[in-house]
Structure 1
Amino acid sequence: MKKMKSTLLLLLCISILSGCWDSNEPERLVYANGLGIDYKDGKVIVYLQIINVKGLAKSESSGDPSTLSQADVGRATGNSLDEAIFNLYHTSDRRIYWGHLSFVIFSEEALKAGGLKYATDFLDRYRETRYRIFFFMTKDSIKDALLISPIENISMAFSKLSDPDGNYNQSSFIPPINLRELIIELDEPAHQVAIPLLKITEQWTGQNDKKKDLLIERVVIISENKIKTILPRNVMNGGRWINKHFVRDSLTLFPETKNDAFVVIYDKKIKIIPAVEKNGKVHFDIKMKLKASVEMMIKDISRKQYEKEIKRAIKKEINNTYQYTQKRDIDLFRLTETLYRKDNKAWKKIEIKGGIPLEEDTLRSIQIDVEIQDTGKHRLTPIFDEQKDKGIEDK
């Protein structure tokens, strides 16, 4: 009798278990990795990059990733982004899963039509998408950009677009921006955001022919859901030193001479300090500490001279960038946000539509503390100590 009761109890428990009858098996899904958004003749055009997740597995268990299809790109049009995506669903063999979406590429026409705000709202609301989605713009073909495979046949999930942090950590020139950061920067003063601009190039060559690759060296400034301007490469030289996510990058010294030197800057710490005068005028002082590694040496140049030239070169780049952007009402250094957070009362008195007026002397001073750590594989001494200090005047 006890055995029968136990059996009945077990059967009752089994009957009320829901199980996984309504789950989606991973192998029965297709995975969206990249989304492209274009706009033409009043229609929204979407491109969806689907990756083969088998390429993420080890070769001994799933075969050589290079023999697998890297990606497929679908295309559909509609009167809105939602309609275009649902039109794309009609041609898909399986359910499209958006949980691994890694990046979005806009065309210039899509951003001019105000597509950024609509797309961010769509991605922010959809339950499957995450906030680690990176944003880019290109003037080239979106479809071609989505079909470019990384070098060495690695998975598309590790491309410069899907996972830009690895590339940025090695050379911190143009910072990537994800969905979370984009929403914050558009929502808070000065309501401007910088989106990396992609360019298709052929700087790499395979065994048989040249390979297409993606170059990022300019940014698009978006304000009030419109393109404000596109900043050229040389302007971004000064922007990298202010960026809080900076890891390391190179700097060329003595460019005016034939004996130019090459250093790597890293371990940078920066403070931007607002100073409010009695008349309400605001100035900003920049204090920066950084370390450097000398990769190319010049004879008869001392350690002190190197440090002095590093300070001069970085100050010059920062000032050039500030003067260029200030004249175009662009707050690339996010000085407005600094005042907004550190002295909100002062910000309220002078802000206009969230931003503060930037004048030529708003950036008052730049103080840089440089410490040269090494000279490549060699220790500092006796390389510098045996040389005379001739001194170099600030230019």
Structure 2
Amino acid sequence: MIRRAKATALWVLMALLLNGCWDSKTIQDVNYLTAIGFDLIDGQYAVYVQMLDFSSVAKTEQGKAAQEVPTWVGNSTGETLGVALNKLYRTSQMRIFYGHVNVVVLGKGIIEKNAAKDPRELLARYYEMRYTPWLFGTKGDIKELFTAGSFFNYPPLISLLHQPNETYLQESLIPPMKLVKFAAEFREPSNSVLVPSVVLSKASWQSGGTPKPMFLEDGCFVFQNKVYQGWFRMEELYGLRWFNPETKRSPLIIRSHNGKPMVVLSLESPKVTIQPLINKDKVAFSLNVTLTGIVSEALLPLSEPDLQRKAEEQVQAEIRQTYEKGLKRDTDLLRLEHELYRKNNQVWKRLRSREDFHLTSESLQIHVHVNMKHAQKLKY
């Protein structure tokens, strides 16, 4: 009898120990962040967070919502980022959860002070935070970015800020940047890292006659050797799309001598090779780019050989222009020095030790070949 009582007590105790749901919380008892932003304003660190009501978001999966999905934005300031975040906790009412953060936005102030590493190091200490969020910079107000909506009362999760790959597939300009990619490339010697810059634009879309702000990538914040080099307009970076193997497709307008559009091409899938050319203590680079071209609009007659030649000349000119824009600010936008570091490390070390690595206009040879296809239906 005593043995049976002991066995029963043991089983009851084991059952109690196996119960692991005592501290579980229901979904409505937690604040789930979807985006977080950092800035440096008047010597104070500023933190911005975006929260959504996930019950409303779930309803939109069955169709568009009858009303706009509410977005909550919080912000606080402090002497450090950690202090600013802890101030935010005081008014959050419920526990904040970082596991659903999909976007990290860096403000102009924190970027220009070369403090971009501070948010990265802070987030790395939060076990809930992953390295998978998208990373953007902005010259605008982060609070306005986080309050912007989307089409048809959809939540902000369905936007360029949270899903940048969708627009990149249709027009490839600057490749989207993940936080994990930034962390890896930021540490690479002699590497240049381009963080896409995003703003709100009211120029294109209206609803009921009222302009609606939508996200727009307007350029890039560039870091080189862990140092901020400056912000570049999108028009200054057009050459990068032909240089990047990640490019899906991008338009190229062929113009006549008086500037009128003649043909619009869709150039796709660049194949790029970079070969360092070493002559004693001088280094140059041979860049070879091969693209596939499809005619999407033919406005004026142009023979295929002439079209191919003009396309190759224009692609070469755009790459050259982007390269020269970088040189004016002592920035290697094409990451040529990093190619030398990877392909001929001994030469790179020797030149670096003597501080004798300098890029000039003559340091780059560009060769472009465009394989033309006949006009056909484009896949949009």
The TM-score normalised by the length of structure 2 is 0.89
What number of residue pairs does the alignment pair up?
A: 375
Letter paired with 1:162:
H
> Is the 1:112–1:226 Cα contact (8 Å) retained in structure 2?
no
Residue aligned with 1:170, SS: coil
- Residues 49, 256 of structure 1: CA spacing in aligned structure 2 closer, same or farther, 3 A cutoff? farther
Matched, 1:79 2:74: no
Report the more deviating stretch, 255-264 or 99-108: 255-264
The AA in structure 2 aligned to 1:172 is S
> 248, 273, 276: which is aligned to 2:275?
273
Q: State whether residues 251 and 267 of structure 2, in contact with CA within 8 Å, keep that contact through their aligned partners in structure 1.
A: yes
Counterpart amino acid of residue 200 in structure 1 = L
What's the counterpart of residue 346 of structure 1? 347
Residue 72 of structure 1 aligns to a residue in which SS?
A: strand
- Report the CA distance between 1:245 and its aligned residue: 1.9
Q: Which residue of 2 aligns with 1:40?
A: 41
Deviation at 1:126, TM superposition (A): 1.6
Per-residue CA shift, 1:302-331, capped at 9, x if unaligned?
222222211111001011111221232111
Runs of 5+ in structure 2 lacking a partner? Answer: none
Instruction: Please say if residues 105 and 137 of structure 1, whose CA atoms lie closer than 8 Å, have aligned partners that are also in contact.
Output: yes
How far has the Cα of 1:53 moved from its partner?
1.9
For residues 1-395 of structure 1, what are the structure 2 equivalents within 5 Å? 11=12, 13-59=14-60, 64-67=64-67, 69-202=69-202, 203-223=204-224, 227-254=228-255, 256-257=257-258, 258-277=260-279, 279-351=280-352, 356-364=357-365, 366-377=366-377
Q: Distance in 1 between matches of 2:305 and 2:283?
A: 34
Q: State the Cα distance separating 1:74 from its structure 2 match.
A: 0.7
Cα pair distance change 1:129/1:249, threshold 3 Å? same
- Checking the alignment, whether the CA contact within 8 Å between 1:55 and 1:68 is kept in structure 2 is no
Q: Which runs of 5+ in 1 are unaligned?
A: 379-395
Moved more, 110-119 or 338-347: 110-119
How has the CA–CA distance of structure 1 residues 64 and 368 changed in structure 2, closer, same or farther, with 3 Å as cutoff? closer
SS of 1:271's equivalent in the other structure is strand
* Structure-1 separation of matches of 2:49 and 2:6: 56
Give the TM-score normalised by structure 1.
0.86
Q: Which residue of 2 aligns with 1:390?
A: none
Aligned equivalents of 2:102, 2:354: Cα separation in 1: 32
Query: Any idea what SS the aligned residue of 1:198 has?
Result: strand
> One-letter code of the match for 2:368?
I
Aligned equivalents of 1:82, 1:8: Cα separation in 2: 47
Local SS of the residue matching 1:171 = coil
- Whole-angstrom distance in 1 between the partners of 2:105 and 2:205: 22
Q: State the Cα distance separating 1:199 from its structure 2 match.
A: 2.5
Q: Kindly indicate whether the alpha-carbon contact (under 8 Å) linking 2:60 and 2:154 is maintained by their aligned counterparts in 1.
A: no
Check whether the contact 1:291–1:373 (CA below 8 A) recurs between aligned residues. yes
Tell me the alpha carbon deviations over residues 276-318 of structure 1, each in whole angstroms, 9 at most, x when there is no partner.
22x1211111122221210111454222222221111100101
1:315 corresponds to which letter in structure 2?
A: Q
Residue deviations 1:247-295 (CA, integer Å, cap 9, x gap): 1111111254434211111122211121222x12111111222212101
| Counterpart residue identity of residue 51, structure 1 | L
**Counterparts in 2 of 1:81 and 1:355: CA distance versus 1, 3 Å:** farther
